[in-house]
Amino acid sequence: MLCPADRVQAFVDEFRARFAEMYPSLRDNDDYTAIINERQYNRLQGYLEDARAKGGAELVEINPANENMKDGTRKIPLTLVLKTTPDMKVMQDEIFGPILPVISYGSLDEAIHYINDRPRPLALYFFGYDKSHQQHVVDNTHSGGMCINDALMHVAQDDLPFGGIGDSGMGGHYHGKEGFLTFSHHRAIFTKQKFNSGKYVYAPPMAPQRIGWCISCLFADKTRLPAWLGARPRCRMSLQDTPLIRPCRLEQNIPVLHSPGETPCTLATRRSSKPEQNNKRQRSFYNDKPTRYEEFLSVGC
């Protein structure tokens, strides 16, 4: 927990008082839970021993009735760890136990820098009623989720998605619509119709012969045609000059007008040495009439 440096002691005193109201005793109190097994109990005790051994840390054990919690129980009094250092295990591992490190800071921006300088948390909890401070933290931090002026009730919102980001988890949320999507599978189905557009990117000899389209009328002057057409357009027409814009289907030595009254474009093609390829007829992109495709060489306007 991050706390303003000038309010750490006030926080400890108030925390101790509120905890004593909720749990006057711990050892025989069924409302105060024990650690689930010996291995986890030893792990948590190891964190406290490590903090003591590193020196400088101040451990504040909150035990309202001053009960013996060392023998015959796996209950651990809630312990605040003050004046921590980054090399302490309690500052490096997820705790999952009644141990709360308290880190002091001088300014809100210093606290934000501390958060952003570490792996992104699963959740971020801000306590304060200043709206500008709330928005400043929202806008300048990253976390899986965020809760303002509460903690436990955050995960209890069944229609609010809850999940991590970065080191705290990616891609999974639960609760509400997002939870339904997390545990659902999106089955993608692609269906190809009779026209096979993929054949125009196949490697030879599977690909059809290149199509000779006069598309220079669709581009401004000095604009190169696509590299696969292999020619520079010399057409001086523009979209404003052309009342009817359409791709021109060109065949051997057949002029095709851009529009009525304009200079025709002609296509020079090289006929294949194989007669069966010259006679091959395929369907046009634009109508059902068969169109002969031959190797495109150049366009002249």
CATH of the domain at 21: 3.40.309.10
Is the model's pLDDT at 266 over the cut of 60?
no
Out of 125, 154, 182, pick the residue that ends a domain: 182
Q: In this structure, is residue 188 part of a structural domain?
A: no
Cα separation values, 290 from 102, 215, 274, Å: 80, 20, 19
Token digits of residue 16: 């101790």
Same domain? For 168 and 266 the reply is no
Same domain? For 205 and 177 the reply is no
Domain region containing 244: 201-301
pTM: 0.60
Answer with the residue of higher pLDDT: 82 or 157.
Answer: 82
Same domain? For 231 and 178 the reply is no
Answer with the residue of higher pLDDT: 82 or 265.
Answer: 82
Same domain? For 210 and 272 the reply is yes
Provide mean pLDDT across the span 196-210: 68
Same domain? For 33 and 121 the reply is yes
Same domain? For 44 and 154 the reply is yes
Q: In this structure, is residue 193 part of a structural domain?
A: no
Rounded to an integer, what distance in angstroms lies between the CA atom of residue 291 and that of residue 284? Answer: 6
Residue 168, C-beta contacts closer than 8 angstroms, at least 6 positions apart: 119, 120, 121, 122, 143, 144
Residue found under tokens 């190891």: 46
Answer with the residue of higher pLDDT: 161 or 234.
Answer: 161
Rounded to an integer, what distance in angstroms lies between the CA atom of residue 9 and that of residue 73? Answer: 30
Q: How many domains does the structure of the chain reveal? A: 2
Same domain? For 10 and 154 the reply is yes
Is the model's pLDDT at 252 over the cut of 60?
no
Q: In this structure, is residue 189 part of a structural domain?
A: no
Q: Which helix (H) or strand (E) holds 126?
A: strand 123-126
User: 62, 82 in Cβ contact below 8 A?
Assistant: no
Same domain? For 159 and 50 the reply is yes
Q: In this structure, is residue 64 part of a structural domain?
A: yes
Answer with the residue of higher pLDDT: 27 or 289.
Answer: 27
Per-residue confidence (pLDDT) for residue 239, from 0 to 100: 40
Same domain? For 117 and 36 the reply is yes
Same domain? For 136 and 12 the reply is yes
User: 16, 115 in Cβ contact below 8 A?
Assistant: no
Same domain? For 174 and 275 the reply is no
Is the model's pLDDT at 41 over the cut of 80?
yes
User: 62, 78 in Cβ contact below 8 A?
Assistant: yes
User: 46, 88 in Cβ contact below 8 A?
Assistant: no
Out of 127, 154, 182, pick the residue that ends a domain: 182
Per-residue confidence (pLDDT) for residue 286, from 0 to 100: 38
- The mean pLDDT value of the chain amounts to 75
Out of 119, 154, 182, pick the residue that ends a domain: 182
Is the model's pLDDT at 199 over the cut of 90?
no
Same domain? For 104 and 208 the reply is no
Q: In this structure, is residue 65 part of a structural domain?
A: yes
Answer with the residue of higher pLDDT: 186 or 111.
Answer: 111
Q: In this structure, is residue 107 part of a structural domain?
A: yes
Q: Is the dihedral of CA 207, 210, 216, 221 positive or negative?
A: positive
Q: In this structure, is residue 196 part of a structural domain?
A: no
Q: In this structure, is residue 190 part of a structural domain?
A: no
Provide mean pLDDT across the span 4-32: 95
